[in-house]
Amino acid sequence: GAVVSQHPSWVICKSGTSVKIECRSLDFQATTMFWYRQFPKQSLMLMATSNEGSKATYEQGVEKDKFLINHASLTLSTLTVTSAHPEDSSFYICSARPWESVNQPQHFGDGTRLSIL
């Protein structure tokens, strides 16, 4: 149980284009999902908390207009990297927790490798 699916697993695109990444909870509902970014040989950095039916909460230093988050249903959150540039190339990972509770671990998707040329 508690499976999180992320799509696509990798994407290569030209500088200036926008890229959408999907995160789905397959066997549970999640009012809250999380988006992380991970650079090579580094840890996961929380970018934003995605809330079903309301605005996302962004971490300090993360541009809201650059990284658009939509959480339209209890099983789907999307991250759109707008006007992507080479410095946005990274490994983007989402996670979800079955209940908004401190007693449940977050379950992670397998990430999206984004390469901007």
Partner 1 sequence: GESVGLHLPTLSVQEGDNSIINCAYSNSASDYFIWYKQESGKGPQFIIDIRSNMDKRQGQRVTVLLNKTVKHLSLQIAATQPGDSAVYFCAENLFSGGYNKLIFGAGTRLAVHP
Question: Does residue 116 touch partner 1 according to CB under 8 A?
Answer: no
- How far apart, in whole angstroms, are the C-alpha atoms of residue 59 and residue 71? 17
Token pair of 92, please? Answer: 């983007």
- Minimal distance in Å, beta carbon 16 to partner 1? 27
- Enumerate residues 6+ apart whose C-beta is below 8 A from 5: 23, 24, 25, 26, 109
* 110 counts as binding partner 1 under rule CB under 8 A: yes
Contacts to partner 1 from residues 41-100, by CB under 8 A: 41-46, 49, 57, 59, 93, 95, 100
Among 77, 90, 109, 114, binds partner 1 (CB under 8 A): 109
- Asked if 34 interacts with partner 1 (CB under 8 A), we say yes
Interface residues with partner 1 (CB under 8 A) are: 4, 6, 32, 34, 41-46, 49, 57, 59, 93, 95, 100-103, 105-111, 113
